[in-house]
Amino acid sequence: MKHRPLSETLTLALAALMLAAVCRADLLSETKAAYKSGHYEEAAKLMQQAAEQGDPKAQYAVAVMYEHGRGVPQDPAKARDWYAKAAALGDGRAQNNLGYLYYTGQGVKQDFAQALAWYEQAARNETSDDWGKGLAWTNLGNMYFHGRGAAQDYKKAADCYLKAAQAGNPYAQNNIGYLYEHGLGVTRDEASAARWYRRAAERGYHFAERNLGVMYETGRGLMRSPDDAFAWYRKAALQGNSFAQYKLGRLYERGLGAAKDLAEAYTWYILSSQRGDKPAGQSLRRLETILTPAQVDTAKRRAAAFTPVDP
């Protein structure tokens, strides 16, 4: 049999690879359009084709579809299999999500050690973008903070959170703020805590908005300001944060940061108590002895009409 010259063989092989890449790119583009238009079943079929051709991005996407039941029946075990394929090819998002499945025991036996190992691979994956790395470092920090998969170590948790926070992850920014506020794994520094809470709050993270409100209300880490406390509590309360809703009610009741309004305070106490906040329930009973039936009825109608907003 006559063999082709090596140069010609390599040229043909390269052309085949380039053609396959173009086909995958077209397929992924077509799939993305189908998904965005809400045609999830069509998107799933197209993405499966690309995934079976060995594209890690497609494999990751198929895993997400199986995990959440978009276009295919929800199947955590299949999600795990596709995440594992993409993770083996170096996809950082898949590595992180595979860690999450091990952490929660979805589609696989719960295994904190495996979760930690995958989170660490994802965090150190140089091909991941800042958001992906930040999320993985945050998850890794959570493992050390709670002592899952490894001994509890606040110092390691702080190191992980700091890396994620510097990458712009608001969850980690809030968490490193908490560590600075309470002196866990780092030297206690309320000013640093307030700065990190602010960075996360400015990204719309309601826990950080709530925490920054506390710092302003108590004057810890920055100048005491009822007006600023009210503003940050309100942002978090509108997103449905129960503690912020209670604190907002307290400010309305006391006339701090806003005009005193017992009916408005009662409204926020209702919302907070519905989410299980016990002090809010106690405050409701206190105000019921002061407000008129008409004021109580108005407050209840406001609470019933409340819908949490997105950040």
295 pLDDT band (50/70/90 cuts)?
very high
Provide DSSP, 149-161: SS---HHHHHHHH
Q: Alpha carbon of 34 to those of 37, 63, 75, 82: distances in Å?
A: 5, 17, 21, 20
157 pLDDT band (50/70/90 cuts)?
very high
Mapped onto helix, strand or coil, the DSSP state of residue 280 is helix
Q: Which residue has the tokens 């795990």?
A: 80
Q: Comparing C-alpha atoms, which of 296, 229, 294 is closest to residue 265?
A: 296
What residues contact residue 172 under an 8 Å CB cut-off, 6+ apart? 134, 137, 138, 141, 160, 161, 162, 163, 164, 165
Q: Which residue has the tokens 């994802």?
A: 122
DSSP state, residue 107:
S
What domains does the chain contain, in order, with CATH numbers? 38-128 (1.25.40.10)
pLDDT of residue 186: 98
What residues contact residue 25 under an 8 Å CB cut-off, 6+ apart? none
pLDDT of residue 32: 72
94-153 confidence digits (pLDDT tens): 999 999 999 999 999 999 999 999 999 999 999 999 999 999 999 999 999 999 999 999
Burial bucket for residue 307 (CB in 10 Å: 0-12, 13-18, 19+): exposed
181-229 confidence digits (pLDDT tens): 999 999 999 999 999 999 999 999 999 999 999 999 999 999 999 999 9
Q: Comparing C-alpha atoms, which of 8, 31, 9, 28 is closest to residue 20?
A: 28
Considering only residues 268 and 44, tell me which one the structure prediction assigns the higher pLDDT.
268
pLDDT of residue 6: 33
pLDDT of residue 27: 64
pLDDT of residue 25: 62
Helix axes 92-104, 112-123, angle to 10 degrees: 160
Q: Alpha carbon of 22 to those of 12, 19, 97, 144, 302: distances in Å?
A: 15, 5, 28, 43, 56
CA angle, 148 then 141 then 80, to 5°: 65
What residues contact residue 11 under an 8 Å CB cut-off, 6+ apart? none
CA distance 227 to 255: 10
Going through 196-249 in order, the beta strands assigned E by DSSP cover none
Q: Comparing C-alpha atoms, which of 129, 144, 52 is closest to residue 96?
A: 129
Length of the chain measured in residues: 311
pLDDT greater than 90 at residue 306:
yes
Mean of per-residue pLDDT scores for the chain: 90
Q: What's at 250, amino acid-wise?
A: R
Among residues of the chain, what percentage have pLDDT more than 70?
Answer: 91
34 pLDDT band (50/70/90 cuts)?
confident
The number of angstroms, rounded, from the C-alpha of 65 to the middle of its chain's C-alpha atoms is 18
pLDDT of residue 22: 41
Q: Comparing C-alpha atoms, which of 237, 184, 180 is closest to residue 209?
A: 237
36-55 confidence digits (pLDDT tens): 777 778 878 888 888 999 99
Mapped onto helix, strand or coil, the DSSP state of residue 6 is helix
CA distance 230 to 253: 12
CA distance 266 to 281: 10
